[in-house]
Amino acid sequence: MRFRALVLSFFAVLVDGFDTAALSFSIPSLAHEWHATAAAFTLAIVATNVGTVVGYLAAGRLCARFGRRAVLLTGVGLFAVGTVLTAMVLPAHSMALLAVMRLVSGLGLGAVLPAAVSFAVEHFPPAHRSRVSVAVTLGLAAGATLGGFFGGKLITALGPTGVFWLAGAATVLVFSAMLVGLPSAVAVAVSPRGASVLRLFGTELRANTGLLWAYSFLVFASSYTLISWAPTLLTSYGFTRTQAPLGLAFVSLGGIIGGLVLIPVAARIGIMRALVVLPALGVAFMIVAGVAHLSGAALLLVLTAAGVGIIAGHIGQTALAVALYDLDARTTGVGWSAALGRLGSVAGPAGAGLLLALALSAGSILLLATVPALMAIGCAFVLWRRNRDSQAVRVAATESRV
């Protein structure tokens, strides 16, 4: 039962990651087909992330009322519908219709991650919770990596519309498997009061919650700028439209490596210090990508190293939220932390889209994307300094040791 809960939760998040990647790697081809600029698709990216934020914010309350299993299934079903509708409206070449369908998809996407993490975690003892949360969250990077590596071939074989039909079919398949195989939720009572966001601002939690939210917003702003615009930015480095998805693939592959590295690093030095060290590594390589005149394989390797640090930072945010909050507040804590992150994922790509519209160079955009990451590192450092002698965090830290 535990294995099924973990695997199916992981696949729910994986198709979430692939769906998000599908829009990212389709933008260069869509822009060519629609005779539009890549920056014009900023609205569709922002709409996806706005819907996701709403889903994140609602997840805690919905799980308290209807249960994590029901919310998880509903979220996957909703973004399956949204993805199919996206495929249906693409031939109309309407930016407004595309944005509306991406908003619908985002609502489902947002409900999935906090519900999937909480659902999987509740099936495991405390000592494994941080490891399980990282494993489930890695589905986002895994889905994006699949999209990046196969995106060029899919675009060539199916076109952007066919890519979304494929993504919708894959999501329906995962939904069907979950409907049959997802185990029942663990019988634990979660009070509506515990699910309230006010619970996160109790005397002992308010400072940690504020710092966690700031960290989430900032690290997501950097990571989603990299994820959302990597294929488009690579066209400035001489990559073709069908080669450009490799940028997303290598960034996301770095994220998978970073998530796997995060587990032993957090066990050895603690999750908070790990969220200082790994994002700092990512920032260093983003600077290299921004200032060095690289191309081809060298550039892809540097982007991989950047993904190791930056994406590990936003994966670690989920593990930190799991560690900080108890059972009653956990889904709400994960959901609101992720929601603040998704607000960053709206602000970062939107800002990068504006910079693209102003014809700023790809290297300059990469350099500017390091600023919020550096600020996030500062938040993680303050969290570590505040809590290094805290009994509450020492107890939480034992949950993340492997």
Instruction: Tell me the mean pLDDT in the region 380-402.
Output: 59
pLDDT at 119: 86
Greater confidence, 283 or 246? 283
Enter the tokens of residue 208. 């940690």
Greater confidence, 58 or 188? 58
**397 pLDDT tier (thresholds 50, 70, 90):** very low
Enter the tokens of residue 305. 């190293």
pLDDT at 265: 86
CA distance 77 to 55: 13
Q: 295-329: per-residue pLDDT in tens? A: 778 888 888 898 899 988 888 887 788 777 776 67
Q: 49-89: per-residue pLDDT in tens? A: 788 888 887 887 788 788 888 999 999 999 899 999 999 99
Return the number of other C-beta atoms located less than 10 Å from residue 96's C-beta: 12
**371 pLDDT tier (thresholds 50, 70, 90):** very high
**101 pLDDT tier (thresholds 50, 70, 90):** very high
Give 386: exposed, middle or buried? Use CB within 10 Å, 0-12, 13-18, 19+.
Answer: middle
CA distance 340 to 348: 12
Give 144: exposed, middle or buried? Use CB within 10 Å, 0-12, 13-18, 19+.
Answer: buried
Assigned architecture for domain 2-179+193-400: Up-down Bundle (1.20)
Q: 8-39: per-residue pLDDT in tens? A: 989 999 988 888 778 878 888 888 889 888 77
pLDDT at 84: 93
Residue 35 sits at φ, ψ, to 5 deg, of 55, 45
CB-CB contact of 247 with 148 (8 Å): yes
CB-CB contact of 45 with 20 (8 Å): no
Provide the strand spans (E) within 185-307: none
CB-CB contact of 246 with 300 (8 Å): yes
Lowest model confidence (mean pLDDT) among 86-100, 219-233, 368-382: 219-233
In the chain, domain spans: 2-179+193-400
Residue 38 one-letter amino acid: A
Enter the tokens of residue 179. 């409907």
pLDDT at 248: 72
Greater confidence, 13 or 338? 13
- pTM of the entire predicted model: 0.71
**400 pLDDT tier (thresholds 50, 70, 90):** very low
Residue 33 one-letter amino acid: E
Q: 117-166: per-residue pLDDT in tens? A: 888 888 777 767 767 877 888 888 788 778 877 877 888 889 989 999 99
Q: How many helices (H) and strands (E) does the chain have?
A: 13, 0
**178 pLDDT tier (thresholds 50, 70, 90):** very high
Residue 243 sits at φ, ψ, to 5 deg, of -85, -25
**Does the structure show a pLDDT above 70 at 279?**
yes
pLDDT at 195: 56
The length of the chain is 402
Q: Which residues contact 371 (CB under 8 A, 6 or more apart)?
A: none
pLDDT at 376: 93
pLDDT at 183: 84
Angle between helices 95-121 and 129-181 in degrees, nearest 10: 110
**Does the structure show a pLDDT above 60 at 347?**
yes
CB-CB contact of 336 with 212 (8 Å): no
**Does the structure show a pLDDT above 70 at 246?**
yes
**Does the structure show a pLDDT above 80 at 249?**
no
